[in-house]
Structure 1
Amino acid sequence: MTLSSNTPHPAASPPDGSHRHAVTPLVRNVQLEHVEPGEILGVGAPRLSWRLIGGAPDFQQHCYEVEFASGGQSSTQRVESRDSVLVAWPFETMASRQNGVVRVRCQARDGRWTAWSDACEVAVGLLESSDWSAQFVTPRTLGGFTDGAPHIFTTFELQEAPAAARLYISAHGIYEPYVNGVRVGKDIFAPGWTAYEKRLRYQSYDVTSHLGEGVNSLGAILGNGWFRGQLVWKGNRLNYGDRLALIAQLELEFPDGSRRMVLSDGSWSALPTGILSDDFYDGECRDMRLPLSIDAARSELVDVLDEDRSRLVARRGPSVRATERKPAVSLMRSPSGRLQADFGQNLVGWVELVVRDRQRGDRIVVRHAEVLEGGELARRPLRSAEATCTYICAGDGEEMLRPSFTYNGFRYIDIAGVDESDVVSVVAVVLGTDLRRIGWMTTSDPRLNRLHENVVWSARGNFLEVPTDCPQRDERLGWTGDIQLFAPTANYLFDSSGFLADWLEDVAAEQWADGSVPFIVPDVLREMRATAAGWGDAAVVVPMSLYLSFGDLGLLRRQYPSMRAWVDKVRALAGEDHIWTTGGPFGDWLDPLAPPDDPARAQADPTVVSTAYFSRSAQLLAEAASRLGLNSDARHYSTMAGEIRASFERHFVAEDGVVRSDCQTVYALALCGNLISDEGRRARAGERLVRLVLDADCTVATGLLGTAVILDALVIAGRPDVALRMLTQTRLPSWLYAVEMGATTMWERWDSMLPDGSVNPGEMTSFNHYANGAVADWMHRRIGGIAPTAPGYRRFEVRPLACFALDHGSARHTSPYGDIAVRWVREDATVEFHVEVPHGTEADVWLPGGSGPIVVGPGQHGWSGLRESA
């Protein structure tokens, strides 16, 4: 073996040995909790995070100072610590409505100080139910499901413009807020979807610039949303109640220091609007002849609802917003003559259609679909979802038509009621929870790049308020099994820390008293109480994945009772032998050999699958307990995990290494779960897995649970080359089959579209499901080469395994400590290798052809002339 390195030497020290003149890093990205700067906080003692960027790589934070200015006073606290991620608030707990700014600077052990960071705004929300004086109000007669979207409003007079004005607002249903007829904020579908009976989010907006002297108006249009609209199947409405309602509290401060509140109460009014009907699944009907107005003569009074305001909570992460605009790439006629638009990308959102020269009262109908079949929209996969928007034109020259209270998953639309010549523009507005992108990768294989981009687009589309399974048909639900598989991928690609932390609060809120975890969260299938291996395990797996990615020990502490309750529930079900025989009903869901109409009929024995997951969750719980200092629990669950592993091997693994049901999934779970202790049997099990994969010509023969671990299992078996062959296989079933078929998102089934271009005949067929995109986690770790080994990437591994199978690869991830980057290029038989390590971290770098890791600290590192073997 030959190995050479051109690792740069650390910057030379000054002649006197001091570092006073060395360039110090900059303190950047100061953040409170997981919220965006300026957004309200739901706690009075928020944790702080920041990053050190640039400067000398030898700068190691020894202590930091935090300056907090509020109410005309400021104070500074010094803390001796190397920590910079989610550190404790060093001041007194803030009160509701308190605001200010915070700055941070850091010092190295040799005395060097960084400059102060930029100021980060601090705004505390309403922390107690007693902070709310407003009431929930609902239209008296206009609020029926068939009455369309009501506008609830009030008017009030001001003697002068306020110096400050902040609106706190929420709803039963979803809302668009308006002040003086102007839309407030950029949030869409607020207040979002939570376990409404237990948690209802509120939003807050600075509306100072919207108000002035004289008569002002405040109100919101209410849509059905998740509260009252269809969920799951046709006719399944009114899941949380039959009356839409608004709560609004406008708090004003005037130049002389006086204060005033404008509160939703029985004096408010309600009006009908031009939104005649709205539903997430079916679409929206909008009469453009009826603009938003304040018309006292047509309005009616509201009723006040007696609602528990202690349910109102601030959100932990970003809202749903418009994140991108994609103009249609073509406008064409279908074989039947329908006008169609293709946006070139399967996406989630709505269409902005601008038309001209329409007559007053003309109807324009827009239908959505993900794919074409025979040149027409393939709408059968939508099942009962109509996915249709209807507009009645005002006839005012050019008109922009778009909905407010619906969304669709689509690449194609057809438009009835207008000719091409009267279409000014057709633009798809991409909607989703506005998560910050933090992870990228690329390779020399454009097919793998497209696969990775498909994973990104499926996450963008399905991360809409909750992590849904699909965004298009009558099933846009927070299935726990899907996110359990996908969480590591999501956490690499996006800052999902607040988004998933918020969702996990609902997991705990919806969990049954006996520890059972619903199949979907929020739970609208309340009668389906059965436990499911791989689905309920999300209560344990997702918190631990978040902890590893973002270092949030507080989240682990908050979720620990939920995690423990799940494992204890399974322990009771499994009995004394620790074999879980009742872990249905899904098993290794969507095995490619299962019949289209029976996706649970997998090759893998469901008891093997369930017991493997039981072992995994018990071990993860033991690790969580250890991290939290719960030593007795850590010992208890570690012992339990060991007993499960021993029982698994005793019951399911033969002397020759054959695992019961002898299919790819059971070997993958056994190897990745360290469920075979005997070295000989483990080696033979690995050999058997490799043989099964090779006999299948490296096509996929696993359902969802096996697919997430199959490539790692092949690496454990010593055959990363077979893993890469499986990843790059294009024959059905394979990841790249869909890419070859033109997919721009991940499919639910390997053959959602058949080779002849027809749609799979199964009733359950989606072209935007992220679950099988969990393979991107393997790509990030084994092609890009980046994997966390300590919480928050404080220590990470760099170990790409594909350097001698691809021409080049690169990956970049913005960790809580800063940017991690890996780049490698192969030329002939050698590899050039580069790694970037952020301040406050260190990396174990496994060089291609090397025998062990090299530990490197912050800075840029490079090697060349690396060879695979002697």
Structure 2
Amino acid sequence: MSVTPFAPSIEHHRVPLGIGERNPRLSWSIRSAPKGWVQKSFEIEAVVEGRRRTASVEGSSSTLVEWPFAPLTSSQRALVRVRVQGADENAPGRWSARTVLETGLLDPADWIALPIGPSWHEDPQSDRRPALLRSTFAVTAPIVRARLYITAHGLYRAEINNQRVGDDELAPGWTSYSHRLRVYTYDVTALLREGSNAIGVTLADGWFRGRVGFHGGHSNLYGTQTALLAQVRVDLADGTHIVHGTGPEWSCAPGPIMRTNLLEGESFDARETQNGWSTPGFAESWEPAAPREIDLHTLTAPDGPPVRCVEERSPAAVRSCGGGRFVIDFGQNLVGRLRIEVDGISGHEITIRHAEVLDAEGELYTRPLRGAYSIDRYILDDSGVQQWEPAFTIHGFRYAELSGWPDNLPIDGRVVARVIHTDMARTGWFSSSDEDLNRLHENVVWSMRGNFVDLPTDCPQRDERLGWTGDIQIFAPTAGYLFDCAGLLASWLRDVAAEQQPDGTVPWYVPVIPGGDQWTPPRPGAGWGDAAVIVPAALYAHFGDTDILRRQYPSARAWSDLQARLAGDNHVWDTSYQLGDWLDPSAPPDDPANGMTDPNLVATAYFARSAAILADFEIELDSAERRLLRERANLARKGFRSRYLSAPGTLTSDSQAAYAIAIVFGLFDQDELAIAGDNLARLVRAADYHLTTGFLGTPTLLDALTLGGHIEVAYALLRQRSVPSWLYPVTMGATTIWERWDSMLPDGSVNPGDMTSFNHFAFGSVADWMHRTVAGMAPLSPGWTRIRFRPGYESGLDAASAVHQTPLGRAEISWQRSGTTITATVVVPVGAVGAFEGPKGETTRLTSGTHQMFVDAA
């Protein structure tokens, strides 16, 4: 049998166009192979500028394999394929299909374009009207290849010859602008023609200048002027090329978008549309564009995929309220916006409002949005049937209210919700015989989708929407199960390092914005700042990328050094403001940090946890540094035990969160673990199998019960359906994960707290345990090279399954119960080794391939 790989992937790019790596790493998985087949060697071929190069390498690695050729240069294209050879084969198998990769502009010297912006005066405190910027250029010979390289201070949408460029949204996204500004590359070959061509770009405020953050948002956070930098390169059949970029010959005019803001929404007046404005024959009387400043040294290529519309959803229910007003239920809390198709008289206005929930009268309940108005407006012209969708805003909503809709025009087929988020590949699936658990898992997936819009945010709907470090710190292990989020999080971690303070303080959220005295200037906070250590480690566990560990090590080390200084000679961190086990159910609605667990206990536990993880970073460190880190981890553990153990296995804070965190973080000795587990189980039973944990305690709770010898209590807790529990929101009709356990109260009213989001992924960290323990599949080594399979014998379920697209290929477990017999089907990808574990801990080694296992679970 000839073993053939799939076409190789490049770094963490979904489409490797405009990449920034001069030496891009390659990964591949095997299409099919005999059971137990093992790669012995591989060959890589790259065709660069017509020159074929090959490299033969001995080894079994197929994940993030180093580039074996000369470094690539700017705008260089390579066609890459691989073939592999097994240990018992005399010749390599067939070549894979080719992957085409292409670098972007890698050096500031590659730019001839100059940054520009609108020339008219703009009130820095008002809602600015997005500008149209345009230019023309000639193509003098047949076209071989054409690329557009573009970025902005603000958001852009480009057109060439009246056709939109690309299908991504909210580009170039939100980064730490003073350090990193992404440049996207587009293949525009098909949009150009020999002769005269025109390029036009709409330039909006976006995160750069628009309102972002608390209290209705803050404007002008990164500057008072938007700016555009764009450059077209056209390679011609005669061997020459043309480069055309932004500069003084460009012109500008106000566009038909009257205002647009991520928090407020977008207003569009179709009567202001200038038809054909991005065509070469457009007759203009526009003003010259004005010069702007963009530091070319901040330009960087993306690390992962862009934001896109990934799905459309039709209304699930429509209720007419009379007078052209309708309330639409899309059946799913989602993030995106509406596209409408409407006809009417010129000047007529359609208003769209958004909300996650309805009030008792069936009207949109908008109080949880706080200062995010989330209102879109469209004013018709006289052109007949018109289709419109906002361009530079998104909303978090399940329900939408349309006002001003023509009475004689049906809603069906004319209104759709466009789901928008970073276009990550789905990698993980879960199902079971319990439909409520399945809905819970689906809610986790939807909350991740809604909050992974260019960076990991806390919530997508209200006046906040920030990259909170604590939220992703606890969710990163789950995120790695569900989607290929390595590129997005690798990019965000670069910003974490860029925004880190000189003393090592990691901000509460990244990128940093002014958010009030409570959050600025940044102060060190346990569980939040630990993202600098824990998120890279979680990515390494799922994706096996040592480069992320290596690159983030200085940031992680600076954070750990700060913790050590704050903990002092007694190695107890008790001197800083802390959020503790944020939002535990006992905390008052207006004081979510005031929970039942000592925040200093939590802080010291996290000091020990991060120190231990950092000491085990799989990177080259000299022996003295490694010894220092291990000694620090030991001292932090001793400091925790000295201060917070009142007796063997017993803590000074008698709370679920305290025991759960201490057990999972390894802060009890082995002979104390049973006592600690008994204490935790006692607290869960005393709460009638309800959880009493917040953001930091919840992710560890089920694992702690499992490690402490009480997995039956863990399952009882997971199955709990009254508040507070994971399944309570499911019983209340939730389609995403809530910020509070009781964001909606049992009587259907909304929690009175000022922070009440119906789309937060933090408590969705439970899906990690569902994959690992309920279905029973988890990586034992980074990158899934060794995989543990253990069906959920104690779950009480009739069946469960999980599928994961690992870096090596598809891994799977599916099991069913019949009486006392568990029948499990297990798939081990090529390049991995499986370990199937029985109910008493007995282990069977599995080679790659499909295996059927029969277990007496009596």
Say if 2:8 is the partner of 1:30.
yes
Aligned to 2:307: 320
Aligned to 1:614: 607
Aligned to 2:132: 151
Q: Structure 1 residue 629: deviation in Å? A: 4.3
Q: Distance in 1 between matches of 2:304 and 2:179?
A: 18
Say if 2:613 is the partner of 1:634.
no
Aligned to 2:330: 343
Aligned to 1:69: 47
Q: Structure 1 residue 682: deviation in Å? A: 2.9
Say if 2:657 is the partner of 1:665.
yes
Q: Structure 1 residue 161: deviation in Å? A: 4.0
* Structure 2 counterpart of 1:266, from 248, 253, 261: 248
Aligned to 1:564: 557
* Structure 2 counterpart of 1:758, from 741, 749, 758: 749
Q: Structure 1 residue 351: deviation in Å? A: 0.3
Q: Could you say if the C-alpha distance between residues 117 and 803 of structure 1 is closer, same or farther in structure 2, counting changes exceeding 3 Å? A: farther
Amino acid at match of 2:769: W
Contact 1:25 1:59 in 2 (8 A): no
Deviations, residues 64-115 of structure 1 (Å, cap 9, x unaligned): 1001112121011101111110011000111111112011001112224221
Amino acid at match of 2:440: L
Aligned to 2:392: 405
Q: Distance in 2 between matches of 1:94 and 1:235?
A: 43
Deviations, residues 367-390 of structure 1 (Å, cap 9, x unaligned): 000000111101000001110001
Q: Structure 1 residue 125: deviation in Å? A: 1.1
Q: How does 1:556-595 map to 2 (within 5 A)?
A: 556-595=549-588
Aligned to 2:102: 123
Deviations, residues 611-636 of structure 1 (Å, cap 9, x unaligned): 01000100000001x54344332221
Q: Structure 1 residue 655: deviation in Å? A: 1.8
Contact 1:37 1:120 in 2 (8 A): no
Deviations, residues 492-529 of structure 1 (Å, cap 9, x unaligned): 10001111111100000111111100000111137332
* Structure 1 counterpart of 2:484, from 464, 472, 495: 495
Say if 2:532 is the partner of 1:539.
yes
Contact 2:216 2:370 in 1 (8 A): no
Contact 2:128 2:205 in 1 (8 A): no
Contact 2:537 2:549 in 1 (8 A): yes
Q: Distance in 1 between matches of 2:121 and 2:391?
A: 19
Runs (5+) with no aligned partner, structure 1: 1-22
Q: Distance in 1 between matches of 2:522 and 2:760?
A: 24
Q: Structure 1 residue 678: deviation in Å? A: 5.8
Aligned to 1:167: 148
Q: How does 1:149-228 map to 2 (within 5 A)?
A: 149-228=130-209
| Runs of 4+ in structure 1 over 6 Å off | none
Aligned to 1:15: none
Q: Structure 1 residue 426: deviation in Å? A: 1.3
Runs (5+) with no aligned partner, structure 2: none
Q: Distance in 1 between matches of 2:161 and 2:16?
A: 23
Contact 1:160 1:212 in 2 (8 A): no
Contact 2:269 2:380 in 1 (8 A): yes
Q: Could you say if the C-alpha distance between residues 146 and 696 of structure 1 is closer, same or farther in structure 2, counting changes exceeding 3 Å? A: closer
Q: Could you say if the C-alpha distance between residues 143 and 133 of structure 1 is closer, same or farther in structure 2, counting changes exceeding 3 Å? A: farther
Q: Structure 1 residue 37: deviation in Å? A: 3.6
Aligned to 2:27: 49
Contact 2:227 2:294 in 1 (8 A): no
Q: Distance in 1 between matches of 2:590 and 2:724?
A: 17
Contact 1:433 1:465 in 2 (8 A): yes
Aligned to 2:424: 435
* TM-score of the two chains, using structure 1 as the length reference: 0.95
Q: Distance in 2 between matches of 1:160 and 1:180?
A: 17
Q: Structure 1 residue 646: deviation in Å? A: 1.7
Amino acid at match of 1:59: W
Provide the secondary structure at the position in 2 that maps to 1:572.
helix
Provide the secondary structure at the position in 2 that maps to 1:349.
strand
* Structure 1 counterpart of 2:350, from 350, 364, 386: 364
Q: How does 1:223-372 map to 2 (within 5 A)?
A: 223-232=204-213, 233-234=215-216, 236-292=218-274, 293-294=276-277, 297-334=284-321, 338-356=325-343, 358-372=344-358
Moved more, 132-141 or 433-442: 132-141
Q: Structure 1 residue 296: deviation in Å? A: 5.3
Q: Could you say if the C-alpha distance between residues 335 and 719 of structure 1 is closer, same or farther in structure 2, counting changes exceeding 3 Å? A: farther
* Structure 2 counterpart of 1:414, from 394, 397, 401: 401
Provide the secondary structure at the position in 1 that maps to 2:387.
strand
Amino acid at match of 1:164: R
Q: Distance in 2 between matches of 1:335 and 1:382?
A: 26
* TM-score of the two chains, using structure 2 as the length reference: 0.96
Amino acid at match of 2:30: L
Contact 1:803 1:826 in 2 (8 A): no
Amino acid at match of 1:546: L
Aligned to 1:13: none
Amino acid at match of 1:653: L
Aligned to 1:461: 450
> RMSD of the TM alignment (CA)?
1.5
Amino acid at match of 2:389: R
Provide the secondary structure at the position in 1 that maps to 2:472.
helix
Amino acid at match of 1:764: M
Q: Distance in 1 between matches of 2:194 and 2:79?
A: 29
Amino acid at match of 1:364: I
* Structure 1 counterpart of 2:75, from 97, 106, 114: 97
Q: Structure 1 residue 802: deviation in Å? A: 4.2
Q: Could you say if the C-alpha distance between residues 142 and 291 of structure 1 is closer, same or farther in structure 2, counting changes exceeding 3 Å? A: farther
Say if 2:842 is the partner of 1:852.
yes
Contact 2:231 2:243 in 1 (8 A): yes
Q: Structure 1 residue 399: deviation in Å? A: 1.6
Aligned to 1:11: none
Q: Structure 1 residue 39: deviation in Å? A: 1.8
Moved more, 609-618 or 111-120: 111-120
Q: Distance in 1 between matches of 2:272 and 2:471?
A: 42
Provide the secondary structure at the position in 1 that maps to 2:97.
coil
Aligned to 1:516: 505
Q: Structure 1 residue 741: deviation in Å? A: 0.2
Q: Structure 1 residue 127: deviation in Å? A: 1.1
Q: Structure 1 residue 530: deviation in Å? A: 0.8
Deviations, residues 153-189 of structure 1 (Å, cap 9, x unaligned): 1012233442221111001100101111210001101
Q: Distance in 1 between matches of 2:774 and 2:714?
A: 11
Contact 2:425 2:484 in 1 (8 A): yes
Deviations, residues 238-294 of structure 1 (Å, cap 9, x unaligned): 111111111011111111111111111111111111100000000000001222443
Q: Could you say if the C-alpha distance between residues 671 and 94 of structure 1 is closer, same or farther in structure 2, counting changes exceeding 3 Å? A: same
Aligned to 1:734: 725
Q: Structure 1 residue 302: deviation in Å? A: 1.4
Q: Distance in 1 between matches of 2:576 and 2:697?
A: 15
Q: Distance in 1 between matches of 2:793 and 2:385?
A: 55
Q: Distance in 1 between matches of 2:621 and 2:843?
A: 30
Deviations, residues 821-860 of structure 1 (Å, cap 9, x unaligned): 001100112111121101111112112x343221211011
Q: Distance in 1 between matches of 2:664 and 2:71?
A: 45
Deviations, residues 426-468 of structure 1 (Å, cap 9, x unaligned): 1000000000000001000000000000000000000000100
Q: Distance in 2 between matches of 1:24 and 1:567?
A: 50
Say if 2:542 is the partner of 1:549.
yes
Aligned to 1:18: none
Amino acid at match of 1:557: R
* Percent identity for Structure 1 against Structure 2: 44
Q: Could you say if the C-alpha distance between residues 412 and 306 of structure 1 is closer, same or farther in structure 2, counting changes exceeding 3 Å? A: closer
Q: Could you say if the C-alpha distance between residues 801 and 807 of structure 1 is closer, same or farther in structure 2, counting changes exceeding 3 Å? A: same
